[in-house]
Amino acid sequence: MRSQPSSSRPAGGRTADGAAPDDIRPTVDSEITWLLHRAAQRLRNATGEQAEAHGIQLRDYIILSALELDSSLTQIELSASLGLDKTTLMNQLGRLEQMGLIVRSVDPRDARARIPKNTQAGSELRARVAHACERVESAMLDGFTEQDVSTFRRMLFDIIGDTHDKGSCL
């Protein structure tokens, strides 16, 4: 039952008015991977807009959220948990620190390592962005019942599992 993403293009690859289509559109029969990718794109774009409306990037919001969940991670552990290369993470942490959203302290277990933590301003901003993102997510899922959403979440978790994924969440 696998099919390629469906296109709204007639033969020749052009729309009825002769213009090139702006994208390939999935259908309900498209591969699940394609559908998940497109759904993730829409959610990522919408949540990214919310982060940007609050003066940060989506990546900043994800980092602040990870630090809110576990404030004991070293920069290296945070890098691994997010699937983000160390250089990119260090640049992001530097920006967040300059903005007063995080502080970095020496790891008591290893003086060479640093532990980033959200400041009060960082935690408050993360909470505001989280609330805005929840509203966006709710609006996108508005046509579904609570049971549909619960089933969808369970299905996604079953696919993803609770194992460490080396891929980036950013």
Share the mean pLDDT of the chain.
Answer: 86
Q: How far apart are CA 122 and CA 128, in angstroms?
A: 10
Q: How far apart are CA 130 and CA 140, in angstroms?
A: 15
pLDDT at 8 over 50: no
Domain ranges of the chain: 36-132
pTM here is 0.78
Domain 36-132 sits in CATH at: 1.10.10.10
Burial of residue 141 (CB within 10 Å: 0-12, 13-18, 19+) is middle
User: How high is the pLDDT of residue 10?
Assistant: 44
What is the pLDDT averaged over residues 59-83? 94
The encoded tokens of residue 164 equal: 């460490």
pLDDT band at 26 (very low <50, low <70, confident <90, very high): confident
User: How high is the pLDDT of residue 170?
Assistant: 57
By the 8 A CB rule, do 24 and 13 touch? no
pLDDT tens, residue by residue, 131-143: 999 999 999 999 9
By the 8 A CB rule, do 121 and 115 touch? no
> Diameter of the chain by CA atoms?
66
